[in-house]
Structure 1
Amino acid sequence: MELRQLEYFQMVSRLGSFTKAAEKLHVAQPSVTNAIGKLEDELGIRLFDRNQKKVALTAEGRIFQRRVDKILREVAETLAEMHDLKNLGRGTIKAAVPPMIGAYLFPNIFISFKKAYPGLDLQVFEEGSLAARMMIEREELDLGIIILPEETAVFHTLPIVEEEIVLCLPPAHPLSGKQAVTFSELRHEPFILLKEDSCHRRFIIDRCRESGFAPRIVFSSNQIQTIKALVASGGGISFLMRMVAEDAKNITTVPLAPALKIRIGLAWKKDKYLSKAARAFIDFVAGRSISQS
């Protein structure tokens, strides 16, 4: 049994396809198929049911998957630890940042960290908070600066800031002069929201459902400037963090009633080995949070 076979097995089980696994691994499909076939022969069991459109794990395959995930995670952590010992003062951090946070909160953190740790490479992936959580849980990323969940048994979290989400309207909108707006007053409005991998979008939709209606979503985008431009031109209403909406021209912001507030902070997986580089970033952000509080 080879480590390569286990890596191929893990990718096929995640993607449910030999073809997609080969593309993700940057190898030819026959290489993946043959490696899995030899693994099954060696184990004397079938790991995948190939009679379906999507390749599915057998009962034995699901048991094997749990073991393989643990083995590969420990191998990755061991390699990372050895790399740390060999390359003190150097390293790579893979971090997720949602679009709205990335555009307004993250740049100062990024620039200050790079000045403090010029030898560390901070690789940033723009992902919505929901997608980021899944990637961190699968250990594809080290950490994320995301909208924090209320409760979690999976992640360690470090709050950075609490932000209010406000209603964004074109200046001539009938609701633009109100002190606050309830979601019930928005049931007939066209909504412009972030895409489906964002916690921000889920919060808005949940508030609408609590008010007895499903929002009419006319446009979805992760481009904050596009959302602002559409609202300003009368294309619909939207909801942005106050720090994002404050500098917007030709947009009126109105508080929601009751207020909708979110916590933004660092999240990383419990019981996962963190490189010295990742720990340095966490300590750096923690230090900034303390100094600014």
Structure 2
Amino acid sequence: MDQAVVHDNSLIIGSIPSIGQYGISKEITNFIKDTGVEIKIITEPSGKLENLLHSNQCDFAFIREVKDRKYFKRIPYAKDQMMAVLPKNHHLANLRKISISQLEKEFFLLEPKGSRPYNLCVNLCKSSGFLPNVVYTDRQIENIVDLVADGMGISLLMSKLVPRESSRIVAIPVEPTVSTSISLCYMSDENLTDLKRKFIAYIKNR
């Protein structure tokens, strides 16, 4: 393992890109105001964040659906539920819940290929007996939502990522219910500084 860089009065914190939707940015800025410490923020997909932790390029990371649990200590931070995101005039838009099998003939607009959200959606469709026809992928959720609203296709997104102010789309819970969790992670074998302990306590007591 690479030699960790010692930060006396600073932290490097990684996060999934949806840093605002889950209130992560607010928690970090509040911690800065309370302590006066310097914090650098890195946003990357969950898999990249795990690699950054392993190579000591960040002190903590907010990760969705942690894979490498053997090496990380995890503090539960948030949970979220998958929604089917449809144009307002879609023929399924008035349903209270949507079965994944009802979406078999749709064009799918998803997060980047190979990402954990993408793989989750594809595997969910496969478990319902079909391979989704993915016609567009993008890291920028607003681009996906705009294209859904314009009628290019539908998406599967976590509830907190769907903009509430849009009147051109609807977001409907899917069946079977799919939930994901976000955790604050750090290396399990790390000798924690007082500052790191303070940040852990801050997140635990938020």
What is the TM-score when the length of structure 2 is the normalising length?
Answer: 0.89
1:109 aligned partner: 27
1:285 aligned partner: 203
1:254 aligned partner: 172
After superposition, where does 1:44-83 map in structure 2 within 5 Å? 69=1, 72-73=2-3, 76=4, 80=6
Deviation digits for residues 111-167 of structure 1 (CA, Å, limit 9, x no counterpart): 21121122x222111111122122212322222112133782121101112111111
- Higher strand share goes to which structure? 2
Gapped runs of 5+ residues in structure 1? 1-68, 85-89, 289-293
Amino acid at match of 1:160: Y
Identity %: 25
After superposition, where does 1:257-276 map in structure 2 within 5 Å? 257-276=175-194
What is the TM-score when the length of structure 1 is the normalising length?
Answer: 0.64
Question: More relative contact order in 1 or in 2 (CA 8 Å, sep 6+)?
Answer: 2
Gapped runs of 5+ residues in structure 2? none
Contact 1:95–1:142, Cα closer than 8 Å, also in 2: yes
Contact 2:107–2:135, Cα closer than 8 Å, also in 1: yes
Are positions 1:164 and 2:81 aligned together?
yes
- The CA RMSD measured in Å over matched residues stands at 2.0
CA distance, structure 1, for counterparts of residue 46 and residue 68 of structure 2: 15
1:17 aligned partner: none
Contact 1:194–1:200, Cα closer than 8 Å, also in 2: yes
2:40 aligned partner: 123
1:61 aligned partner: none
Contact 1:142–1:274, Cα closer than 8 Å, also in 2: no
Tell me the SS of whatever aligns to 1:159.
Answer: strand
Amino acid at match of 2:178: L
Amino acid at match of 2:198: A
After superposition, where does 1:1-150 map in structure 2 within 5 Å? 69=1, 72-73=2-3, 76=4, 80=6, 84=8, 90-91=9-10, 93-100=11-18, 102-105=19-22, 106-118=24-36, 120-149=37-66
- Higher helix share goes to which structure? 1
